[in-house]
Amino acid sequence: MNSLDLFYGVFYRCFTVKPMALLVFPPVYDFAFYDMFVKPCGLLRIGQWLSDTGYEVELLNCLDYTDSAGVEIYGEVQRKPNGTGKVFRQIIEKPPVLKSVKRKYARYGIPRKTIEKRISHAHSDIILVGSGMTYWYPGVREVITAVKKVQPKTPVVLGGVYATLCTDHAEEQAGADFVVNGDGCAGLPAILQKLQLPVPKISYPGTQLLLKEGFLDAAAIRLHEGCPHRCSYCASEALCPKFRPGDGGELADEVFRIHNTLGIVNFAFYDDALLFKAETGIIPFLEKIIESGLKLNFFFPNGLHISFLTEEIARLMKKAGCKDLRFGFESINSEFQNEFGFKYSADMFPHAIDALRTAGFQDNDLAAYIMAGLPGQMPEEVEETIRTCADLKVRAFINEYSPIPKTALWEKSVSLSRFPIAEEPLCHNNSLFALQSDSFTVEDLRRLKRLALELTRGQND
């Protein structure tokens, strides 16, 4: 930004009662996208922080499936009562680097004209753009391009997952005036000070700004920040270097606040290690939910750790309204655990499943994530893990390995991949199967997915 832009910002704020911040949750570009509780909770926490400081805060959720212009153009989308489902979809041409993927590529989100109109009407002093998967950056770039078109003098700050994991690429390609690498509450104050905007003096809140557009039919919540494990394929440490335990009672109060204000009954945990520190975390949370008598639903799209589950937690989860329990099983192979991040022994899984069934959970409530395509991993190992899930009557979901910058496996993945993953984040897309090889082919992966569907999911998925 130049001196004229700064002068314009100071002059404009002299004639406004409050500084105005616009939060933008971008559209998604991908081969497939299903809204499994994808919410702008990080942006909404920053929004609460700014609101408490005296800002007027608005949100533009580009994944808003209720947008009237989107419904008029694309039609209504199929949604489930639990708050998940499809969003607006427009088939577009695949980027050249993804031409080898035999699938249709699409833009998911509200119409571009709606985005430009909303940005133009906001009269913002600052625009904060969030980011998700590294390979979703075209949506980030689309939003920032729209800002520069209709509000060229408004400073744009980019943060989130892509901004943190691919900082150099974001600074060169996204078009933002500022890129925050890491925790937004740590990086934003210096930017606000430079722009001569009010800088929060209060601590970063654990609450979200209750803007209906950011929640719609469900809420995303988080108990803990970070993860105590250091799995070599996971970016949790890069995104949150230090594990910060949360308070279960305080989170329950936040759930009550969201429910009482917005009427929401569906809540999804974003935690990487929800069951860790259970005595001060998940146990008092569940007990407080049960004591309230509210009929709420809780979901776990990020997966739960097998090793932390106890009979007491299983019993409380059932009483509190927990549903669709998903666990990070990853592999039955003990060598996998030793090489990529030991979190449990193989015999823990059947014991955990027994505890859940004793608590009253049914087969359709239980699922496991299985890793496929890690460096050196063979398809036979994945198949054995699928069959183990089938024997336990647990649904299996295969997670294709996606190489992620700043993880322990990144450099090895760069050396093994036939795609330019170090230069082009689009190649991180798991649909590309970046580490495909002669010993683990794309067809192997397709066969394993069919096997998981046939043996463990069938008509119940």
Q: Contact 136/173 with Cβ under 8 angstroms?
A: no
Count of beta carbons in the 10 Å neighbourhood of residue 253: 15
Which phi and psi (to 5°) does residue 344 adopt?
-170, 165
CATH of the domain at 42: 3.40.50.280
pLDDT at 384: 95
Q: Contact 170/176 with Cβ under 8 angstroms?
A: yes
CATH of the domain at 447: 3.30.750.200
Residue 91 lies in a domain: yes
Looking at the fold, whether 33 and 178 belong to one and the same domain comes out as: yes
Residue 79 lies in a domain: yes
Looking at the fold, whether 183 and 330 belong to one and the same domain comes out as: no
pLDDT at 14: 47
Cα–Cα dist 413/202, whole Å = 42
Last residue of a domain, one of 194, 215, 240: 194
144-165: per-residue pLDDT in tens? Answer: 999 999 999 999 999 999 999 9
pLDDT at 329: 87
Q: Contact 297/321 with Cβ under 8 angstroms?
A: yes
**What is the H or E stretch that residue 16 is in?**
none
Residue 50 lies in a domain: yes
Sign (positive or negative) of CA dihedral 192, 173, 89, 72: positive
Last residue of a domain, one of 194, 228, 251: 194
Q: Contact 304/120 with Cβ under 8 angstroms?
A: no
Last residue of a domain, one of 172, 194, 216: 194
194 against 18, higher pLDDT: 194
pLDDT at 458: 64
Collect all residues with Cβ–Cβ distance below 8 Å to 259 and sequence separation of at least 6: 265, 294, 296
Residue 53 lies in a domain: yes
Residue 415 lies in a domain: yes
Cα–Cα dist 265/175, whole Å = 38
**What is the H or E stretch that residue 458 is in?**
none
Q: What is the mean pLDDT of residues 237-243?
A: 88
Q: What is the mean pLDDT of residues 283-291?
A: 98
Residue 154 lies in a domain: yes
- Band (311; pLDDT cuts 50, 70, 90): very high
Using CA atoms of 56, 110, 67, 58 in order, give the dihedral in degrees to the nearest 10. 0
**Closest by CA position to 388, among listed 339, 330, 430, 460:** 330
DSSP 298: E
**Closest by CA position to 222, among listed 192, 254, 191, 200:** 254
Q: Contact 170/137 with Cβ under 8 angstroms?
A: yes
pLDDT at 6: 46
Percent of the chain with pLDDT over 90: 82
Looking at the fold, whether 334 and 185 belong to one and the same domain comes out as: no
Residue 86 lies in a domain: yes
Is residue 4 over pLDDT 70? no
How many separate domains does the chain show?
2
362-389: per-residue pLDDT in tens? Answer: 999 999 999 999 998 999 999 999 999 9
The C-alpha R_g of the chain, in whole angstroms, comes to 22
Residue 382: domain span: 324-460
Cα–Cα dist 13/19, whole Å = 6
Cα–Cα dist 126/177, whole Å = 10
394-425: per-residue pLDDT in tens? Answer: 999 999 999 999 999 999 999 999 999 999 99
DSSP 123: -
Residue 256 lies in a domain: no
51-102: per-residue pLDDT in tens? Answer: 999 999 999 999 999 999 999 999 999 999 999 999 999 999 999 999 999 9
Cα–Cα dist 67/110, whole Å = 7
Cα–Cα dist 407/424, whole Å = 16
Q: What is the mean pLDDT of residues 261-290?
A: 97
